[in-house]
Structure 1
Amino acid sequence: MNDSATLTAHTVPPRRLVWLRTEVDSWSTQGLITEEQAEQIRTRYRSEDHARSSIGRVLLLLGGGFVGIGLIWLVAAHLDALSPMTRFGAVALLWLVFLAGGEVLAARRASPPLVGAARLLAALGTGAVLFQAAQSLQVPAFEPRLVGLWAAGALLHGYLTRAYLPFLVGILTGLVWWFMQPLWDSQSGLTVVLLIGAAAVLAAGVAVLHDDRLDAFAWTWRTLAGAMALLALFVAAIPDIGGDGIDWSPWLVALLAVAGVAAVAAAVTRPGHQALEALGAVVVLAAAVLLALWSTGADSSDIDAADWAHAAISVAAYVGLAVALVALGTVREHAPLTWMAMTGLVVFTTFQSFAVFAPIVTGAWLFVVLGTVFLGTGFLVDRARRELAQALDTATDDEGATR
């Protein structure tokens, strides 16, 4: 007989844990399993929220983050007391120690927070090594290619070891490089909109490709896709944002091609409803570019019919995106998507209201109009979320009944 204490505990989303415990209680009541077996099943699963609430985990990760940032800071301070080769050797040695140490700890099944802290140090140390090498070679600091190499190294580390924290460092630094590289020589508002929308397409496509393979990575890619989609429509709705046109460059073309490949790969390998995520991101990109190209003027004191139409269509598009993200968050049990959609909708509606309504409706009436818009959009989004959740629950009950 197996001892329940020896079973490996698996973390699951809170909603799934509630469903599982309800089913286990039902199985036990019906005599399908014994009470001892039911207790073993309950012990084997725990909530993700509980698993992530360890104070020790937080302290270790904070410590790892501070040490890693400190290493980069030391590089930035030039370490004038040492020769360039000595500085590089010292930083590289520390990086190798953290890199090897994290994997040794993982092989010995050490505490996950301790392993995570060591891997975080290694991922941050990758940047320190690159910046120190660049300094020794007289390469200007903070060039986009250095940030890009750091992102590539951290992502490679994360994927090879299936480690989340190096992967997260790679995502954050890669996001910085995504915008920094094409905009290094010249900038324009429409180029920024195009890059934000393309980032949403790439992240959505990669998230779909990760489903059922690397769930934690898919979760992060999907969160990034939602954030970029909301940001793309927000920036595109700024009056006259696309007046300067697009500054085409080889890097911009390459990034758009990468995003397109990710969307096509998601559609080919995951046909059906899963491919709709990447397709939806493409639609958001197209809508954002069209809104940015629609120039209505930036004079807030002179609002005409074109300005009203631009604002109305922008709000409608944003509400549609928010509803879609709420639906996706409900289906995927991805709470951050729902909260991002609601928060983004409030911020966007406030911005549009003060940008368009304020010159016409002043004083208390402005808040009446703003409150009415909030109530209307909030009612639509919440009703859509409730109806979708009810439909999913009904489908789950029907599937259980057929079995």
Structure 2
Amino acid sequence: MNPSAPALPRPVPPRQLAWLRAELDDWTSQGIIDDDQARLISSRYRPGDHARLSIGRVLLSLGGGFVGIGVIWLVAANLDQLSPTSRFAAVVLLWLAFLAGGEALAARKASPPLVGAVRLMAALGAGAVIFQAAQSLQVPAFEPRLLGLWAAGTLLHGYLVRASMPFLVGVATGVAWWFAQPLWDSPSGLTVVVLLGAAAALASGLAVLHDGWIAPFAWTWRTVAGAMALLTLFVAAIPGIGSDGVVWSTWLVVVLVAAAAAVAGAVLTRPGTRLLEPLGALAVLGVAIALTTWTTSTDTSDIDTADWLHAAVSVLAYVVLAVALVALGTVRDHPPLTAMAMVGLVVFTTFQSFAVFAPIVTGAWLFVVLGTVFLGTGFLFDRARRELAQVLVDDSPGGSATPASGAPR
């Protein structure tokens, strides 16, 4: 490339470009830059047709998903017209065609949405191959180990080619296996809490390990970690959820060792403030186990002091977790964490309010109390978010300037 050649205008979302041009006009009027500089900066960007691309990506992803699910459905329907060997060969050939086609398109620099759709069909086709093989070997289709094999295969595919679609399928099937396998024999409430907390620790450790390596994968693992942490405390706060105790199994030990390994790997290889994420997930697991083993009454018509105290501690722990996720979402520029924290706090507060307040405060007063709780938590929540954002702005280079209210995040 000739270094003296002018750079092609970079496509950006129209809303972001409108914000930039408004800022350039403001800077020009204040004398920060002159008209020529403003025109030069503006010429480096052009509006991109992101809406059309987004619609195309959605349609291609839906098409790939339907085809992949259709292949699995054909396996489930047994394809009685073919012998087991022929069925298996047909499914394998389809999977290999999708797999090779996706990588061939990627090598030819084809449209990313098209490549993603074909890779999605390959990831779903891998599940069809596994279930067809299990059917031929007379293994029940609902055996959790099949989910584990599917997750392992698609995650391997995603990591080898740095592909998001196989990776997302692997994460989804892996999460399903994570809970299905240990609960296959003897489910219990406390075991569910342990699995949720361990999943949060595993995902947060993996997110930290992926930072600076594969950013999109780190983003996904961080989202999973936040969701699992919120679910952990939500389930742990249900009265009587841990009355059955933990049902230990080989698979439960395996998933706990995997979570510990991810946290240890993050601690050993990523020193610094990033470690607050996996260590915070471990703290959530510890608090959840304490809440679960805290024996309270399950009769909502007879609320005593211990029940009130349990509910108060649960709400406090959940608010602390929500604020921590908002801080993490702000620092990492990860809006889903903030959104999940806000929605989770509303749902959790509603659940606790009806479980604790409803037997005492009924009718319209219940909604008055519930609304007051929402207003109070919402005010504190928003205040903490704004103060954290301001601290980050002040600590950044040139942070004394106040950011524009319409600045993209």
| TM-score when normalising by structure 2 | 0.90
Q: For the Cα contact (< 8 Å) 1:4–1:40, is it kept in 2? A: no
Q: State the alpha-carbon separation in 2 of the partners of residues 19 and 267 from structure 1.
A: 40
Deviations 1:244-297 (CA, angstroms, capped at 9, x unpaired): 000001111111111011112112211111110111111001111110111102
> In percent, how many aligned pairs have the same letter?
67
Write the mapping of 1:320-399 to structure 2, written as runs, cut at 5 A.
320-398=320-398
Structure 2 vs 1, CA of residues 52 and 291 (structure 1 numbering), >3 Å: closer, same or farther? farther
Q: State the alpha-carbon separation in 2 of the partners of residues 283 and 82 from structure 1.
A: 54
Write the mapping of 1:143-158 to structure 2, written as runs, cut at 5 A.
143-158=143-158
Q: For the Cα contact (< 8 Å) 2:209–2:270, is it kept in 1? A: yes
How far the C-alpha of 1:18 sits from its partner, in A, is 6.4
Structure 2 vs 1, CA of residues 36 and 377 (structure 1 numbering), >3 Å: closer, same or farther? closer
Structure 2 vs 1, CA of residues 37 and 191 (structure 1 numbering), >3 Å: closer, same or farther? same
Aligned to 2:278: 278
Q: For the Cα contact (< 8 Å) 1:315–1:349, is it kept in 2? A: yes
Q: State the alpha-carbon separation in 2 of the partners of residues 118 and 276 from structure 1.
A: 38
- Secondary structure at 1:244's aligned position in 2? coil
Aligned to 1:213: 213
Aligned to 1:269: 269
How far the C-alpha of 1:396 sits from its partner, in A, is 1.7
Aligned to 1:201: 201
Q: For the Cα contact (< 8 Å) 2:240–2:298, is it kept in 1? A: yes
Deviations 1:217-264 (CA, angstroms, capped at 9, x unpaired): 111111110000000000000000000000001111111111011112
Q: For the Cα contact (< 8 Å) 2:191–2:245, is it kept in 1? A: yes
Q: Flag structure 2 segments of 5+ consecutive residues without an equivalent.
A: 402-409
Q: For the Cα contact (< 8 Å) 1:267–1:275, is it kept in 2? A: yes
Aligned to 2:135: 135
Aligned to 1:287: 287
How far the C-alpha of 1:367 sits from its partner, in A, is 1.3
Residue 41 of structure 2, aligned match among 31, 38, 47: 38
Q: State the alpha-carbon separation in 2 of the partners of residues 266 and 17 from structure 1.
A: 41
Q: For the Cα contact (< 8 Å) 2:147–2:173, is it kept in 1? A: yes
Aligned to 2:226: 226
Deviations 1:184-221 (CA, angstroms, capped at 9, x unpaired): 01100000000000000000010011112111111111
Q: State the alpha-carbon separation in 1 of the partners of residues 210 and 133 from structure 2.
A: 34
What letter matches 1:188 in structure 2?
S
Structure 2 vs 1, CA of residues 154 and 383 (structure 1 numbering), >3 Å: closer, same or farther? same
What letter matches 1:252 in structure 2?
L
Aligned to 2:7: 4
Structure 2 vs 1, CA of residues 373 and 200 (structure 1 numbering), >3 Å: closer, same or farther? same
Deviations 1:361-403 (CA, angstroms, capped at 9, x unpaired): 11122112111111111111111000001111111244699xx
After superposing on structure 2, the runs of 4+ consecutive aligned residues of structure 1 that deviate more than 6 Å are: 14-21, 23-28
Q: State the alpha-carbon separation in 2 of the partners of residues 295 and 316 from structure 1.
A: 18
Q: State the alpha-carbon separation in 1 of the partners of residues 150 and 138 from structure 2.
A: 18
Q: State the alpha-carbon separation in 2 of the partners of residues 188 and 376 from structure 1.
A: 35
Q: State the alpha-carbon separation in 2 of the partners of residues 396 and 177 from structure 1.
A: 42
Q: For the Cα contact (< 8 Å) 1:201–1:263, is it kept in 2? A: yes
Tell me the C-alpha RMSD between the 2 structures. 2.7
Structure 2 vs 1, CA of residues 264 and 127 (structure 1 numbering), >3 Å: closer, same or farther? same
Aligned to 2:405: none
Structure 2 vs 1, CA of residues 90 and 377 (structure 1 numbering), >3 Å: closer, same or farther? same
Q: State the alpha-carbon separation in 1 of the partners of residues 283 and 25 from structure 2.
A: 43
How far the C-alpha of 1:26 sits from its partner, in A, is 6.4
Q: Flag structure 1 segments of 5+ consecutive residues without an equivalent.
A: none
Q: State the alpha-carbon separation in 2 of the partners of residues 23 and 184 from structure 1.
A: 61
- Secondary structure at 2:253's aligned position in 1? helix
Structure 2 vs 1, CA of residues 318 and 179 (structure 1 numbering), >3 Å: closer, same or farther? same
Q: For the Cα contact (< 8 Å) 2:148–2:174, is it kept in 1? A: yes
How far the C-alpha of 1:3 sits from its partner, in A, is 4.4
- Secondary structure at 2:277's aligned position in 1? helix
What letter matches 1:114 in structure 2?
L
Aligned to 2:165: 165
Write the mapping of 1:171-182 to structure 2, written as runs, cut at 5 A.
171-182=171-182
How far the C-alpha of 1:38 sits from its partner, in A, is 2.8
Write the mapping of 1:46-85 to structure 2, written as runs, cut at 5 A.
50=50, 54-85=54-85
- Secondary structure at 1:63's aligned position in 2? helix
Q: For the Cα contact (< 8 Å) 1:25–1:38, is it kept in 2? A: no
What letter matches 1:207 in structure 2?
A
Q: For the Cα contact (< 8 Å) 1:151–1:170, is it kept in 2? A: yes
Q: State the alpha-carbon separation in 2 of the partners of residues 273 and 288 from structure 1.
A: 23
